[in-house]
Structure 1
Amino acid sequence: MNQLPKRKDVALEHRWNLEDLFPNQQAWDKEYQLVKDDLKEIGRFEGKLNDPAAIKKCFELEDKISLHTERLYVYANMKHHEDMADPTYQALSDKSKKLSVEANEAMSFISPEILSLTDEQLHKLVENPELSFYKRTLEEMIRQKQHVLSKTEEALLAQVGNLSQAPGTIFGMLNNADLKFPKVKNEHGEEIELTHGRYIQFLESKDREVRKQAFEAMYSTYAKQKNTLAATLAANVTKNIFYAKARKYPSTLEMSLFGDNIKKEVYTNLIDAIHESLPLMYRYMELRKKLLKVDELHMYDLFAPLVDEYKMDITFPEAKQMVKESLKPLGDDYLGILQEGFDNRWIDIYENEGKRNGAYSWGAYGTHPYVLLNHKDNLNSMFTLTHEMGHALHSYLSDVNQPYRYAQYTIFLAEVASTLNEALLMDYMLKKSTDKKEKMYLLTYYMDQFRTTVFRQTMFAEFEKIIHEKAEQGESLTPQLLSQIYYDLNVLYYGKGMVVDQDIEMEWARIPHFYNSFYVYKYATGFSAATSFAKQILEEGEPAVQRYIGFLKSGGSDYSINILKRAGVDMSSPEPIKQAMSVFKELLEQMEALAK
């Protein structure tokens, strides 16, 4: 069946039940009007936020507006994602976006006004019993105060905001619209145009010549634009340095970590611990070379399949069953919520015409979370299901156990629950598997997740750290310098047993994450924290499970590092990274044994 069904033809049980959020359009309209009325109300507090009673009332109204705006926004956009071509929900989505902007503008006076109070007044507010519920909010404001400027300076910085997006916007245009890649011959000798989407497919080809051609075509295209791309990335670094200086941060790195209250050591520990574990990566590359039966392993061989065509057909009901079985170590309460999600249409399962691609977990406080999938009957989709349900249960447990203001967890914590579910599913499948080919297929899948999420993202993080430090010391980020730094890092991370092709020196030019600076390290720390949790749960059982469930219930009620620490994962030490690396080593040993 090649024809995708229209949205109206999708069976009810395969669709999410958005009526749990709003029973109908009238209910949405009514809540929209409520927010509009409340927005008129909030302005009355301006100029009065020096009195505990007024601050309390203002915070209460702020929470009310934020919650209702979020509900309206989430519903409108999820309806829009069911069929992106439907004009009704395109319009509703726009309407909800405009309301969000309006709400943010209306409430933007709150923080600056409270922060304009003297330190003494602020500390009195923190100690005021009437404001005890908002103690964490006030303490966080005080922590941020040293980097908040005067009203006029803040207004000026806000105006620079649009300018500061320019490097990322220019890169996006160049990368997505203007760069044209040449044609590459596929396995059947057909000439196919290389695109971002097809690049990995070419690299996964069994035909080595196809891989090599795609690799060279990709990087030679970037090399032709190297001066423009280097100037764009350098402009982004300059922008970061400007903000760090304006806001009085010691460095760009410390500015980026400040929001989550994360010490620089978390970032440097990650890099140091991965450096220590690089011999394991070199061993994995040697094994890849052996399994691919090649004299030299090249950069374009990193995605080549190690197991001849191995297909796993897994239907959605089978995927649900396996996910449930694999999550048994997390206990009956967790499984009960998972089952509730399966039974009560939290999930939009299959693709339909016009539906948004990809997968996500989303929702609004006060209603259960939702999951959007585009399920195919394969291994990847089963891992996507457990991944997104990990997010969903994290949100569910945070929302049930935390008040609205403290329920939202940070991006630093966001990937832990989803990746932990994947780790438990992989452990379950490996233990259950008796087929040598299947086992090798699973191990390769998992090892490559370690390679791309922990090693590669750490290499990216190290690249960002080096180029910002060089620019802070006054060096010019020329294309030659950027390429040299990037090439040397690849040699360091992949080792002498690998031919690090010169073309890879241009890879920095195609990574969009470099325009969202110092962000990628969170993938590596999240994956490591999840792997560490999984190891503790499988080895210790109940006590580790209780700590982990405590983590899921914490939401954003404390700083991320503290929440993880209480649950038994101390990211301020290299220990969790080392635990993750010990799992990588075990998997590598299993693969080496199978390859004999």
Structure 2
Amino acid sequence: MEGQSKKREEIGPEYKWKLEDIYADENSWEEDYKKLEEQIPALEKYKGVLGSSSTQLLQVLEFSHELERKAEKLYVYARMRRDEDNGNSHYQALFDRVQRLSIELGSASAYIVPEIISLAPEKIRAFLDENQDLQLYSRLLDELMRQKEHILSPEEERILAMSADLSLAAKNIFGMLNNADIKFPVIQDEEGKAVELTKGRYGSFMESNERRVRKEAFTALYGSYGKVKNTLAMSLASNVKNDIFYSRVRKYPSALEASLDQDNISPEVYERLVETVHNNMEPMYRYLRLRKKALGLDELHMYDIYAPLVKEFKSKVSYEKSQEMVLKALQPLGDEYLAILRGGLKGGWIDVYENEGKTSGAYSWGCYDSHPYVLMNYDDKLDDVFTLAHEMGHALHSYYSNKNQPYVYSQYSIFVAEVASTVNELLLIDYLLAQSREPREKAYLINHYLEQFRGTVYRQTMFAEFEKKIHEQVEQGQTLTADGLCQSYRELNRLYYGTDTVLDEEIDMEWARIPHFYSAFYVYKYATGFSAAVALKEQILQEGKPAVARYLEFLKSGSSDYPLNLLKKAGVDLTTPEPVEKALHLFARLVAEMEAVLNV
């Protein structure tokens, strides 16, 4: 049947990842599984004796990390086997088994951090001075001591751990309502056919060239959320109260500070992002006026925001061609980077094409004891080339980090997780723009660039500002209601979209469908990460080798230092407004370039 996905066995081996590089066969996996299962109970012997000597402390750290490393390897292999075909019950069972074993390991090692925290800092310092091997863990121990005042007694920590399921209640209730129970009406598509609106189809409808379809989808979606707005307001309010409860129990001044402390980041970084974006609203307003003119509209409504300014440049790009494009685009990163990238493209890192039952979308993953892996569902579109560049950015960040850091510091912070992937995408856009000779292609690429800025810097900062506002309201004793949330959200939309955009009342309900609001103070990292990537990309292109050297050191650093410090060494200081300002100045230049290309 036309359009039907291929079966896994129909895909050529050159387009599949080689999970045999993790485990040669399943028997090897089973052997490691059995070993881990047998080793976990041995953690018990260290309980209560971590303060007795530096040797005991070193042994428990080494042993627990050895078990974590083995569990990670088992977990990654089983999960990626399942992702090849989610309908394969054998791999479902394999993954379920290792998931249960990982939980068992987590439970068995849960005493370690509270017991270390209970030790006097002087004792830990003495242990480090007397034991050369323990010094590998000095940063880990320093970080635990830094957060000591926010760690409770073992019994209190046990009670908090028992409350974990309860703490997820609001998020889980929202998830069930948002993903399972909420129903949307039937609308008419471009051909006049009756089609049931779904969240998946909503994005396509909002990019429709037919305005009637966009408006119908917009009205239908938010009308559906509006019918359950009080329930959704209660679930979000409960989640905010949950954040505040845990921040107060752990003795933080606010929920914001509790969240940022994980990366040792001060609230000023968060607030400066919002302030800097506020000071650079005019380029956003100018872009929206450009949209209005380019689309030939008398009024720009909220349902016109995603309408394509340029119909997708129909350029079919084979996977082989996409590899060539990415390699050429990333030449500024130097020969070493390109050699590793080329090896990954040809060396079984990537699972390229869709097959029946395969996990959708794209990701980069792997474990400390393997090279990175990338899952794709390549479909010969230009967007897929960007996805390849993006995911290989993640992959090489992991490769460099794993090769240059011990296991304990190999995982880089979420704060910097999108930097390397975005640098790759930006270099690819610049390369394609430089090569472009066809006005429609150039307009399409600039529009892609602009939408990245708008969606990642402006929109995510607006979300971050909304999160801060509603948490502060509750911390000050106010009650969050559906009407109050709508009013707050409307005020922010007016600020971010300006007076030239018609604020349709339906947009007041957008807060009700954003899952990220249930993982508070996370989205600002998208905006700071994108801004950092713009700064690094510009330095690489302008300075050449010195900037590349700094950038590669950043990729090699894992979590060996705090994320702000790592970025500062690379040449980006996010404690100042400069990186965000420079990124938004680039956005302004791109708007002007788009005006010239479209002649509006």
Q: Same fold (TM over 0.5)?
A: yes
CA distance in 1, matches of 2:383, 2:263: 32
CA distance in 2, matches of 1:123, 1:475: 45
Cα deviation for residue 107 of structure 1 reads 1.0
Q: Is structure 2 residue 304 aligned with structure 1 residue 311?
A: no
3-state secondary structure, aligned to 2:263:
coil
Which of 181, 186, 207 aligns to 2:184? It is: 181
- Report 1:302-451 matches (<5 A): 302-308=305-311, 310-451=313-454
3-state secondary structure, aligned to 2:348:
coil
1:345-402 CA-to-partner distances (Å, cap 9, x unmatched) read 1100000001011110000102100000000100111111000000000000000011
Cα deviation for residue 38 of structure 1 reads 2.1
- Residue in 2 that maps onto 1:40: 41
Which of 64, 67, 71 aligns to 2:66? It is: 64
CA distance in 2, matches of 1:430, 1:31: 49
Normalised by the size of structure 2, how large is the TM-score? Answer: 0.98
Whether the 8 Å contact between 1:38 and 1:61 is mirrored in structure 2 is no
3-state secondary structure, aligned to 2:537:
helix
Which of 534, 538, 555 aligns to 2:537? It is: 534
3-state secondary structure, aligned to 1:146:
helix
The total of aligned residue pairs comes to: 596
3-state secondary structure, aligned to 2:367:
coil
Q: Is structure 2 residue 250 aligned with structure 1 residue 223?
A: no
- Residue in 2 that maps onto 1:113: 115
2:210 alignment partner AA: D
- Report 1:261-272 matches (<5 A): 261-272=264-275
- Residue in 1 that maps onto 2:468: 465
Cα deviation for residue 293 of structure 1 reads 0.6
- Residue in 1 that maps onto 2:547: 544
- Residue in 2 that maps onto 1:235: 238
- Residue in 1 that maps onto 2:77: 75
Whether the 8 Å contact between 1:122 and 1:142 is mirrored in structure 2 is no
1:110-160 CA-to-partner distances (Å, cap 9, x unmatched) read 111111122332333344443211100110110111001111111111121
Whether the 8 Å contact between 1:307 and 1:437 is mirrored in structure 2 is yes
Whether the 8 Å contact between 2:54 and 2:131 is mirrored in structure 1 is no
Greater shift, 147-156 or 422-431, is seen at 147-156
Whether the 8 Å contact between 2:54 and 2:128 is mirrored in structure 1 is no
CA distance in 2, matches of 1:462, 1:99: 40
- Residue in 1 that maps onto 2:96: 94
CA distance in 2, matches of 1:269, 1:309: 36
Whether the 8 Å contact between 1:388 and 1:418 is mirrored in structure 2 is yes
Cα deviation for residue 207 of structure 1 reads 0.7
CA distance in 2, matches of 1:128, 1:579: 48
- Residue in 1 that maps onto 2:256: 253
Greater shift, 245-254 or 114-123, is seen at 114-123
Whether the 8 Å contact between 2:364 and 2:395 is mirrored in structure 1 is yes
3-state secondary structure, aligned to 2:147:
helix
RMSD (Å) for aligned C-alpha atoms: 1.0
- Residue in 2 that maps onto 1:16: 17
CA distance in 2, matches of 1:577, 1:112: 39
Q: Is structure 2 residue 163 aligned with structure 1 residue 168?
A: no
CA distance in 1, matches of 2:407, 2:11: 34
Whether the 8 Å contact between 2:73 and 2:369 is mirrored in structure 1 is no
Cα deviation for residue 310 of structure 1 reads 2.9
Whether the 8 Å contact between 1:63 and 1:405 is mirrored in structure 2 is yes
Cα deviation for residue 309 of structure 1 reads 5.1
1:199 alignment partner AA: Y
3-state secondary structure, aligned to 1:354:
coil
1:436 alignment partner AA: P
Whether the 8 Å contact between 1:528 and 1:577 is mirrored in structure 2 is yes
CA distance in 2, matches of 1:424, 1:308: 23
Cα deviation for residue 57 of structure 1 reads 1.0
1:402-444 CA-to-partner distances (Å, cap 9, x unmatched) read 1111111011010000011000000000111011111001111
- Report 1:268-307 matches (<5 A): 268-307=271-310
2:171 alignment partner AA: G
1:42 alignment partner AA: L
CA distance in 2, matches of 1:123, 1:145: 15
3-state secondary structure, aligned to 2:187:
strand
- Report 1:206-221 matches (<5 A): 206-221=209-224
Greater shift, 483-492 or 103-112, is seen at 103-112
3-state secondary structure, aligned to 1:259:
helix
CA distance in 1, matches of 2:399, 2:112: 29
3-state secondary structure, aligned to 2:490:
helix
Whether the 8 Å contact between 1:363 and 1:369 is mirrored in structure 2 is yes
- Same amino acid, percent of matched pairs: 52
1:233-262 CA-to-partner distances (Å, cap 9, x unmatched) read 000001111101100001000000011111
Cα deviation for residue 9 of structure 1 reads 2.0
Cα deviation for residue 595 of structure 1 reads 2.1
Q: Is structure 2 residue 39 aligned with structure 1 residue 31?
A: no
Which of 109, 121, 125 aligns to 2:127? It is: 125
CA distance in 2, matches of 1:347, 1:310: 26
3-state secondary structure, aligned to 1:581:
helix
1:220 alignment partner AA: G
Whether the 8 Å contact between 1:126 and 1:138 is mirrored in structure 2 is no
Which of 496, 517, 521 aligns to 2:499? It is: 496
CA distance in 2, matches of 1:471, 1:124: 44
- Residue in 2 that maps onto 1:5: 6
- Residue in 2 that maps onto 1:558: 561
- Where does structure 1 lack aligned partners over 5 or more consecutive residues? none
Cα deviation for residue 515 of structure 1 reads 0.4
Which of 561, 573, 576 aligns to 1:573? It is: 576
1:381 alignment partner AA: D
1:335 alignment partner AA: L
CA distance in 1, matches of 2:221, 2:164: 33
- Where does structure 2 lack aligned partners over 5 or more consecutive residues? none
1:384 alignment partner AA: T
CA distance in 2, matches of 1:265, 1:193: 45
Whether the 8 Å contact between 2:312 and 2:444 is mirrored in structure 1 is no
CA distance in 1, matches of 2:115, 2:588: 53
